Amino acid sequence: MTTGPGVRLDHSGPVATVTLSRPDVLNAQTPDMWRALSDFSRNLPGEVRVVVVRGEGRAFSAGLDLSVANASGPGSFAELATLPEQECADRIAAFQAAFTWLHRPDIISVAAVQGHAIGAGFQLALACDLRVLAEDARLSMAEVTLGLVPDLAGTGRLVDLVGYARALEICATGRRMDAAEADRLGLATLVVPTAELDGAVRDLTAALLANSRDAVVEIKALLAGAARRTPEQQQRAEREAQVRRLRDLAGTGE
Catalytic residue annotation: 143
Distance (Å, whole) CA 169 – CA 33: 29
DSSP-based three-state secondary structure for 50: strand
Q: Mind spelling out the 3-state secondary structure of 164-219?
A: HHHHHHHHHHCCEEEHHHHHHHCCCCEEECHHHHHHHHHHHHHHHHCCCHHHHHHH
Nearest to 210 by CA among 12, 14, 52: 14
Q: At what angle do helices 154-162 and 120-127 cross, to 10 degrees?
A: 70
Dist. CA 242–CA 95, nearest whole Å: 36
